[in-house]
């Protein structure tokens, strides 16, 4: 009888320990969010029809020529998609843009990086129409008036190599909205200045993002927002500054 009681007590301890370990394992193995469906459904360029998405081996490759699907003076006078610059002072009014063979490769399931890498010069992401997204730097350093005076109404301009790209919020991308703008090179989405409920987020981290549900993701995911602070004296809102939240993928041209 005594032996039976000892055996029963031992079994209860073993079962309790097993259940405890299982619970701990589940808590520590939280899975990320698969972004592939949203990427496939969001990336398109209705004007050039030159954006494609391929998913393979845990990665997504988005290919594009980099030309926009909206009006800009950089199409050139006489083009059907030409429009005048906003304002009057534009140093690069005669600069044109050209096509590239861009390819951005990002993970299907993005994850937070242990060490956050500062965004660099050049493309830090891609808008949903295939146009590259740049941060708040130009070749000579932080954006200055000689750079933003060349922006079209979409907060974009071509670089010295005629590579058209966005720096700021603009008419054809987002204006004070919760629109999905695109994805950065670490695989995380970037939205306009507002959250899904139409309010301005008050808990953004140093890199301009936070975790929560969006208009596209019902499971909470880390995502960036266009800054809600006017940049310098430009009257503009930059899309991205600071570091990547996740590990950046490749961006080739």
Q: What is the pLDDT of residue 128?
A: 98
Q: Is residue 17 part of a domain?
A: no
In 3D space, the residue among 251, 72, 244, 33 whose CA is nearest the CA of residue 156 turns out to be 72
CA distance 161 to 73: 17
Is residue 13, in this structure, part of any structural domain at all?
no
Q: In the chain, how many domains are there?
A: 1
What local confidence, expressed as pLDDT, does residue 167 receive?
A: 93
pLDDT digits (tens, 9 = 90+) for 99-128: 999 999 999 999 999 999 999 889 999 999
Query: Digits of tens for pLDDT over the chain (253 positions)?
Result: 444 444 434 443 333 333 333 332 233 223 589 999 999 999 999 999 999 999 999 999 999 999 999 999 999 989 999 998 887 656 655 678 999 999 999 999 999 999 999 998 899 999 999 999 999 888 767 767 667 888 999 999 998 899 999 999 999 999 999 999 999 999 999 999 999 999 999 999 999 999 999 999 999 999 999 999 988 777 889 999 999 999 999 999 8
- State the Cα–Cα distance between residues 170 and 155, nearest whole angstrom: 5
DSSP assignment of the chain equals -HHHHHHHHHHHHHHHHHHHHHHHHHHH-------HHHHHHH---TTT--EEEEEETTEEEEEE----SS--GGG-TTSTT--PPSSS--TTTT-------EEEEEESS--B-SSPPBP-SSEEEEETTS-EEE-SEETTEE--HHHHTT--TTSEEE-TT--EEE-B-BTTTBSSS--EEEEETTS-EEE-SS-TTSSPPS---TTSEEEE--SS-SS-EEEEE--SS-BTTTTB-BS--SB-SB---EEE-
Q: Is residue 236 part of a domain?
A: yes
pLDDT at position 62 is 98
Within a domain: 98? yes
Asked if residue 23 belongs to a domain, the reply is: no
For residue 2, being part of any structural domain is answered with no
Closest CA to 123 of 151, 163, 173: 163
- 240: its two tokens: 């991205």
Is residue 14, in this structure, part of any structural domain at all?
no
- Residues with Cβ within 8 Å of 189's Cβ and at least 6 positions away in sequence, in order, are 35, 38, 180, 181, 182, 183, 214, 216, 217, 221, 223, 224
- pTM score: 0.85
Which structural domain, as residue segments, surrounds residue 89?
32-252
């Amino acid at each position: 009888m005594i032996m039976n009681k000892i055996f029963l007590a031992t079994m209860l301890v073993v079962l309790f320990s097993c259940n405890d370990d299982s619970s701990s394992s589940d808590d520590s193995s939280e899975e990320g969010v698969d972004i592939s469906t949203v990427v496939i459904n969001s990336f398109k360029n209705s004007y050039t029809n030159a954006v494609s998405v391929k998913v393979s081996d845990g990665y997504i490759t988005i290919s594009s020529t980099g030309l926009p699907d909206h009006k800009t003076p950089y199409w050139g006078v006489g083009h059907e998609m030409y429009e005048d610059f906003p304002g009057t002072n534009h140093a690069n009014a005669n600069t044109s843009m050209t096509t590239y063979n861009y390819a951005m490769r990002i993970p299907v399931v993005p994850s937070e990086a242990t060490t956050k890498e500062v965004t660099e010069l050049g493309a830090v992401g891609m808008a949903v129409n295939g146009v590259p997204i740049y941060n708040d730097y130009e070749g000579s350093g932080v954006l200055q008036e000689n750079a933003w005076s060349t922006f079209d109404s979409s907060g974009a301009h071509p670089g010295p190599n005629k590579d058209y790209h966005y720096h700021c919020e603009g008419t054809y991308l987002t204006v004070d909205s919760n629109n999905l703008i695109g994805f950065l090179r670490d695989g995380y989405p970037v939205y306009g200045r507002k959250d899904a409920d139409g309010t301005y987020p008050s808990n953004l981290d140093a890199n301009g993002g936070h975790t929560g549900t969006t208009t596209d993701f019902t499971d909470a995911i880390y995502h960036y927002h266009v800054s809600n602070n006017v940049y310098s004296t430009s009257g503009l809102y930059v899309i991205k500054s600071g570091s990547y939240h996740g590990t950046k993928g490749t961006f080739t041209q």
